[in-house]
Amino acid sequence: MFELNSSTVNSDNTNLRDFLASYIKHWYLFAIGIFLCVLAAFLYLRYKAIPQYQITSTILIKDKDKGSSTNSEQSLGDLGLVKPSTNIEDQIGIITSSYFMEMVMEELALNVNYSVEGQVKDIAIYWKNLPFYLLTSRASQPTSSMPLIITPIDSISFNLKSTTASTEVQAGTYQFGDTIYTGKKFFQVLKNPHYTNGQIDVTPIQTNFTNIEDIAMSYSGQLMVESVNKTGSLLSLSLLDPIPLRGKDVLQKLIELYAEESVKYQNQLAIGTIEVIDERLKLLTGEITSVENDVATYKQQNLLTNISSDAAVYLQSAQLANRQLEEYQTQIDILNSIESYLRQNGDERLVPSSLNIQDPTLSGLISQFNSKQLERKTLVRSTPADNPLVVSLDRTLTDLRIDILENLRNIKDGLLIAQKNVQANSYRAQAKIAKVPTAERALQTINRDQGIKQDLYLYLLQKREEEALSLEAPISNTRIVDPPKASRFAVSPNKTSIYLGALIFGLFIPFSFVFAKDQLNNKISGIADIEKLTNAPLLGQISHNTDRKNLIVHKNNTSAIAELFRLMRFNLSYLTIEKANKVLLVTSSNAGEGKTFFTINFAASLALSGKKVVALSFDLRAPKLLQRLGLKESIGITDYIVDQKWTSKDLLVNVPKYEILDVIGSGPIPVDPGELMLHERIGSLIEELKQHYDHIIIDSAPIGKVADAFAFVPNIDATVFIVRQDFSLKKDVKILNDMYSNNKLKNMMVVLNDTKVGNNYGYGNIELNNSRK
């Protein structure tokens, strides 16, 4: 097996050059593709594409919840009726709804298309640039399949005709403002108040009605509404329109309608809020009156005026009763003490008079008693006890004691009665005091209910006043930050992108064609295919023979092909360094791949280098070697094998002008060439020739058809396998790789024949492949 000095970089460069070469040779397809696609792009931009201008605006959606203004949604939300949404995404959804866009279309009368006839295509016009416009309602709008041509005559009249054979519209002259009927439908042609040109343009204007839902859907699809930032309420609006003025009007009207609908919606919410509040106020008025009646009834039933003051009075009464009870009890105790004193003590003791005795009668009786007692004591000291005076004083003291005791009983009975009455009053006061917490709690419950209803009543009155004020001065939550503006230049179609796309498409189509062709091609198209399919080294390649001559290599020829053979001569010595290369077998997969052509010219190249060379025509089935050289057939290889009288010298035929180049013909075509190739005389012939020649080149039969070439395996030093570009099949090269991998033929090398200009590289269209080992 051959050992090559390989280089990965060289291999990659070779593959890249082969890849590019396969496309460069079809350069005309790329040129045609680019030309046609760019031409198509030019025609599209010139005659088909409609320039689109970008209309932009910025608005601010104010959040009223963060200000001092009244928000009806918030009010209803406070009342539990509506959950207001301040999500900016919801507002974007509202603005982009088809409902608003349909209103815009109706407001701007965009349900009618206007155009003038151009040289190639009709030119659309906005009705504000015309002296008239068509007006109709959605219900009375004629069908869209009825195009009309309107031609102004003067400032008061115009001519009308239909571009179709329809009889729904009567052609003729009308005045601006006339109602024109089309069956049950009708429309008016009115003078345009926005038209400022003093002269009436009499250019015919083509008009046709458009379904308002369809055009609204078209504009809604183009409308882009985006938040300027994530945290703010700024919205950026943009749309595309071929007429800048119309686009600005659409965007301006859309913003105005959104603001008007916002105010209208807020007013509806305010009115609804007021109605709800009024109904609720009526109910609350009755409920508050009922609660107030409950308070009055409860106070009447419980004899209450003010819980706190009444409780203080009850407490004061209880305290007074307790003091009185204590005083009465003290008086009773004093009386009981005096009575006990009088009953227990004798006649000589005085009754205590220092006690707090409030009854004057009793005090007087005690004073008399004590005075008589003192008098008796004084008299007893000087007179005997039976003295009439003493006896008289004793009777008087006894009577006074009886009177005092009687008086004591009467006073005590009075005190007990008073004490009982005071005790009863104290019990009543204590009972009322005990009922105060319950009454207070019940009254607090009633008062709490009353307070809640009063607070709600005041709150509703406040909200009603706020809503009434919002109706008096409605304020929109929409503010225009940047009014609608149109771009100075059309943003669509993008000419640069279209031309670039056309250029890419113009390259892609030929590239796809060549790529598909290469993928579907089952023939060898270049060196890259050989390198993919086999590991055998490449001896070289031979360019296409434009001269149609068989023997190209001679002393005075410096053509490209001649140089290729000289280069392969060098490559052979380089690839087979330190190896024998005396006997060289030339074969291929099929006939017609250039074996004989290579044999003749390679042998000539070796002979010109001073080597003695002989070429053998061993394609016994279809010999061509002598014929291609213009030499006559004489005794050949077949004769040598069959008849032993012939020697190798008898077979040699010299090639004219090449002194050291001989050839041996095949001789007559045998009946059984396959059996003849196994004859031992073949080996003898080659051995004899080795004694006299430096190189022996064998032109054998195609190895892909017959096995004749394998008969030379014992005698050859190297094998050259010829592959012809755009002729040899890839599957045959796979067979070559199998033979190379299994070393079925010695030292195999590949030669690519018949390469075309542009598919090759290197000096003289050949380069040694050093990437394999």
pLDDT in tens, 345-382: 555 566 665 556 667 777 777 777 777 777 777 777 77
Least confident of 382-386, 440-444, 556-560, 751-755: 440-444
Determine the 3-state secondary structure of 207 from DSSP.
strand
Strand order in the sheet with 148-152: 123-125, 112-116, 205-209, 148-152, 157-162, 172-175
- Does residue 681 surpass a pLDDT of 90? no
Whole-angstrom Cα distance, residue 585 to residue 698? 5
Q: What is the arithmetic mean of pLDDT over 508-522?
A: 81
- 253, exposed or middle or buried, with CB in 10 Å at 0-12, 13-18, 19+? buried
- pLDDT at position 233, please? 83
- pLDDT at position 586, please? 92
Q: What is the arithmetic mean of pLDDT over 60-73?
A: 55
pLDDT in tens, 628-653: 888 888 888 888 888 888 888 888 88
- pLDDT at position 3, please? 42
Q: Is the peptide bond before 147 cis (omega within 30 degrees of 0)?
A: no
Whole-angstrom Cα distance, residue 14 to residue 622? 37
Concatenating the DSSP letter of every residue in 172-189 gives EEEETT-EEEETTEEEEE
Identity of the residue numbered 118: G
pLDDT in tens, 331-350: 777 777 777 767 765 555 66
Determine the 3-state secondary structure of 723 from DSSP.
strand
pTM tops 0.75: no
Least confident of 27-31, 230-234, 384-388, 509-513: 384-388
- pLDDT at position 248, please? 92
pLDDT in tens, 481-508: 889 998 888 888 888 888 899 999 988 8
- pLDDT at position 471, please? 66
- pLDDT at position 77, please? 52
Q: What is the arithmetic mean of pLDDT over 305-333?
A: 67
Which of 479-483, 674-678, 757-761 ranks highest by mean pLDDT?
479-483
Asked if residue 291 lies in contact with residue 455, where contact means CB atoms within 8 angstroms, the answer is no
Q: At what angle do helices 244-301 and 98-107 cross, to 10 degrees?
A: 120
Q: What is the arithmetic mean of pLDDT over 23-42?
A: 87
Which of 61-70, 352-361, 676-685 ranks highest by mean pLDDT?
676-685
Whole-angstrom Cα distance, residue 390 to residue 773? 178
- pLDDT at position 301, please? 62
- Does residue 285 surpass a pLDDT of 90? no
Asked if residue 513 lies in contact with residue 29, where contact means CB atoms within 8 angstroms, the answer is yes
Strand pairing category for 695-699 and 583-588: parallel
